[in-house]
Chain A
Amino acid sequence: MIKRIKHLLSTFWRIFNTPSGYFSLGFLTVGGFIGGVLFWGGFNTAMEATNTEQFCISCHEMRANVYEEIQPTIHFTNRSGVRAVCSDCHVPHDWTDKMARKMQASKEVWGKIFGTINTREKFLDHRLEMASREWRRFEANDSLECRNCHDEGAMDFTRQSSRAAEAHRRGLIEGEDTCITCHKGIAHELPDMAGVEGWE
């Protein structure tokens, strides 16, 4: 068996390492360039396709739970008509972080295949675990996905209610807090918060 694999590998390496006997250098470079563009374009297009709301709610686990819950919130319906879709908050925007997140998301494919949350009851049972994971992620990256839109440098505290301005000054500017420290459960319902820090 190992001998066979070794043989296959050495055959492959021989072909791979020998100069082409049939194709011109021009064909190989231009073809390689076009192939590369096609591959890269296709890869990114496919990646972007998995970032659409359409894709997320094509599974009932998302459509019947979290998608239902976001609809009355301000991130879905509001006076100015700006909407944050799933990926705006749950997938980092820049490329390397996005790739890392997408690799982690392969676990979600596993969950889908084995039906880990395929009923509302199962979903609720796992809700704290899943929410905690997102809270940890936001705490670790200083609420990066919030800050893609909400920049504290661009916030006019005088336009906020005094309560909000004061809390932002204390926690965000002078303190160690990040958005998610206080703003949990703004887009989806909260799990059982007993024992979660800040919800005593």
Chain B
Amino acid sequence: MRMIVTTIAILGISLGALAQQQEGDHDALRGNVPLLEERTPEPLYEVENNDLRRPRAYPMQPPTIPHKIDNYQVDLNANRCMSCHSRQRVGTSQAPMISVTHYMDREGNFLAELSPRRYFCNQCHVPQTDSPLAVENTFVDVVELLRQRRETQE
């Protein structure tokens, strides 16, 4: 009995997922191409490399990387990003120093070095390309929201 219920449940969920998929959801890996067809790969888009800081969409947003990071090694052995952005290196490199939060462990204690939980830069910071938007974005800046509310109240 339980077996049957489970099977029906799994079937139901996967059918639901399939239905959603067919409605044109974005599949980042393959696009909406049937499994048996080969997808024409998108061109490689140009990576932004102008070294100009982008404004942040909200105060806590990790800043984007305004330069190419091709073949930058970030692993157990070396962290290429830190060879410019660490506290000791910014004098030579004149790159922005990683923020003070990167030196804190999760209890808020300050460490002498980059905290291990912040080691992999690309988990939060990414370069930008000139590719068209993959999905529609309805994000509205909080300042814009406040302004709209003020206007409606007036």
Contacts and interface: CB of A to CB of B under 8 A. Distances in A.
A74 B50 contact: no
B71 A186 contact: yes
Contacts of B83: 182, 198-199
Nearest to B83: A199
A140 to B, nearest CB: 21
Contact of B78 (A166, A167, A199): A199
Interface in B135-154: none
Contacts of B21: none
Nearest to B94: A166
Given A73-B71, A185-B73, A161 B89 contact: no
Contacts of A193: 77-79
A161 B77 contact: no
User: What's the interface size class on A, roughly?
Assistant: 20 to 34
Interface band, chain B: 20 to 34
B49 interface: yes
Contact of A161 (B51, B76, B80, B86): B51
Contacts of B77: 189-193
B71 A163 contact: no
Given A198-B83, A200-B89, A163 B51 contact: yes
